C-alpha cells in the first residue's frame, strides 16, 4: 500500500466546557471515517500528534492531550507522542516510529513555518505512517499551500503571502469549515466573494464542511461528505453528506 492520507476539516474529537477546557470524546463514524481508518491502519503501536506551532506550549498541551484521549477512546494505540518545539530534535525519530501521524489545526502560516523548520515533508514522504490532517494540517499537506487570510489585519496587509511551500503529500488545495467560512468578513472583505472566488481563477480549491474529508490511497482520491469544488470564480457542490465521490484533477 502506498502513502495513505486523510484530509479532514474537523473530526469532532472534543467538546469545550464553560472554562474553555477541551473535553475529549469518542469520535463517530461520520461519513465512514472510522471504517476507513480501521481499514487503513494496520498497526496500533504509536500515534504522533504534530503541533501547529513551535512554542505555543499551553495551546499544544490543551489540544494535543485532548486529541490523544479521543483516539484512546476510539482507536487505542500503545503510545501517544506530541511533537513541538520542546522535542523538535527528536522529529526524525518520532516520525519514523509512528504508525499514524496527526497534523493539527491552527494558523496555517505559523504551522507551515514549524513544519518546514523540522523538515516534516521529507520525513513523512519516507515514512510508513498513515497521515491524518485536520483543518490547517490538511491545508499544509499540499505541495503548494493556499493559505487565504484568516486573522485580523492579514486581508488588509499587502505583504501577506497566501501561497506557501507545503509538505508535498497531495496536490489538493483544501479549505476547511466551509459553512462558517462563507459567512466571514475580514478587514472589510467578504472571505468567500472578495478573496476565495477571485483566487480560484488561479487554482482549484476543495471546500469541506466539518465531518467531511478526502482520502488518498494507492494513487486514488475520494471525497466523503459535503464538498464544494471552487474554481473559475464559482463554487459548485460535488458531494453531499453521506455520499462519496471519486476525484480526479
List pLDDT tens digits, range 111-122.
999 999 999 999
Torsion of CA 145, 146, 151, 155, to 10 degrees: 140
- In this model, does residue 249 exceed pLDDT 60? no
Identify the CA nearest to 103 among candidates 143, 53, 37, 164.
53
Q: Which residue has the higher pLDDT, 151 or 1?
A: 151
- In this model, does residue 19 exceed pLDDT 80? no
Does an H or E element contain 27, and which? none
Domain spans, the chain: 5-247
pTM confidence score: 0.95
Class of domain 5-247: alpha beta
Proportion of the chain above pLDDT 90, given as a percent: 94
Amino acid at each position: 500500500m502506498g502513502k495513505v492520507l486523510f484530509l479532514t476539516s474537523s473530526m469532532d474529537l472534543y467538546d469545550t466546557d464553560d472554562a474553555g477546557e477541551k473535553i475529549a470524546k469518542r469520535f463517530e463514524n461520520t461519513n465512514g471515517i472510522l471504517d476507513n481508518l480501521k481499514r487503513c491502519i494496520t498497526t496500533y503501536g504509536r500515534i504522533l500528534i504534530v503541533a501547529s506551532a513551535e512554542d505555543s506550549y499551553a495551546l499544544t498541551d490543551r489540544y494535543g492531550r485532548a486529541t490523544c484521549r479521543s483516539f484512546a477512546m476510539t482507536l487505542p494505540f500503545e503510545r501517544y507522542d506530541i511533537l513541538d518545539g520542546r522535542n523538535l530534535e527528536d522529529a526524525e525519530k518520532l516520525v519514523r516510529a509512528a504508525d499514524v501521524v496527526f497534523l493539527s489545526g491552527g494558523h496555517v502560516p505559523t504551522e507551515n513555518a514549524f513544519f518546514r523548520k523540522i523538515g516534516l515533508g521529507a520525513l513523512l514522504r519516507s515514512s510508513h505512517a498513515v497521515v491524518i490532517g485536520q483543518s490547517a494540517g490538511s491545508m499544509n499537506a499540499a505541495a503548494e499551500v493556499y493559505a487565504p487570510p484568516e486573522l485580523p489585519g492579514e486581508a488588509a496587509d499587502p505583504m501577506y503571502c497566501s501561497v506557501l511551500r507545503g509538505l508535498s503529500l497531495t496536490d489538493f488545495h483544501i479549505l476547511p469549515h466551509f459553512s462558517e467560512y462563507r459567512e466571514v468578513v475580514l478587514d472589510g472583505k467578504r472571505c468567500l466573494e472578495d478573496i476565495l472566488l477571485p483566487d480560484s481563477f488561479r487554482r482549484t480549491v476543495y471546500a469541506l464542511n466539518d465531518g467531511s474529508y478526502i482520502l488518498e490511497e494507492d494513487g486514488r482520491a475520494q471525497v466523503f461528505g459535503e464538498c464544494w469544488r471552487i474554481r473559475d470564480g464559482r463554487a459548485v457542490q460535488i458531494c453531499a453528506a453521506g455520499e462519496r465521490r471519486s476525484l480526479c484533477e
